[in-house]
Amino acid sequence: MTQQVTNFAPIEYKMRAAGLPQIFIDTFHFYYGQLAGGANGYITRADAGPVNAIPDYDDLGPRELAAGQDALERTIVLKLNGGLGTSMGMNGPKSLLVVKDGLSFLDIIVRQVQYLRRTTGVRLPLVFMNSFNTREATLAALTGHTGFTQEIPWDFVQHKEPKIWKADLAPVTWPADPEKNGRHRDTVISTLRSSPVACWSSCWRTATSTLL
């Protein structure tokens, strides 16, 4: 690729300066190398293929019900909540958009989790993967749900990766608005490194060993 930046050093410098973890830098480096090598990330219909064998719900029985209940005991409801609704004329989290009977998406999500907790008897934490732009408003909205509590934090903030120019793959620099230099991405690594997930894993291990 002619005249394209294949040296990852300036991008790595920006990521380290932002305090991003090594595993996130390594992952970004891997996909940056694929991009520099010509990969476009597209999956064709032929590559994807159809899904032909899906179990019918009516065929599920007591064994599947027990397996589902067991899995639910170790489940977190994780909601991606990093985007602002600017395209809809909003300047806050899209989850706070009122959609039905005066309820926002967030209100409906909380009610769904409350219903599952009540009908199954599990703890079922609700965790939001916020961005720096959505965190404050989301947590403020959650405080309005009296009695909706849990033993782990409500949220964590996803990592922010640098943007790169299409022309030469160099890191974007936007002095007038530094927020435009990067974007919040990477669900998997942010989740694995989050305090809610680490706390829930620890709590579940404790509960399991107590029951045994």
pLDDT, tens digit, 9 for 90 and up, residues 111-133: 999 999 999 999 899 989 888 88
Backbone φ/ψ region at 186: left (φ over 0), alpha (ψ -120 to 50), beta: left
The CA distance from 50 to 92, in Å, is 38
The structural domains of the chain, with segments of one domain joined by +, span: 1-40+162-212, 75-157
Q: Is the pLDDT of residue 104 over 60?
A: yes
Higher pLDDT, 139 or 161: 139
By 3-state DSSP, what share of the chain in percent is helix, strand and coil, each rounded to 5? Answer: 45, 15, 40
Say what percent of the chain tops pLDDT 90: 22
Tokens of 103: 């309820």
Whether pTM exceeds 0.85: no
Q: Is the pLDDT of residue 107 over 90?
A: yes
The CA distance from 184 to 179, in Å, is 10
144-161 pLDDT, tens digit per residue, is 998 899 988 888 888 778
190-206 pLDDT, tens digit per residue, is 444 555 555 555 554 44
- Residue 183 bridge partners (DSSP): 161
Tokens of 156: 């964590």
pLDDT value of position 162: 83
Higher pLDDT, 134 or 193: 134
E strand map for the chain? 77-81, 98-100, 103-104, 126-130, 155-157, 160-162, 182-184
pLDDT value of position 108: 96
Q: Is the pLDDT of residue 164 over 90?
A: no
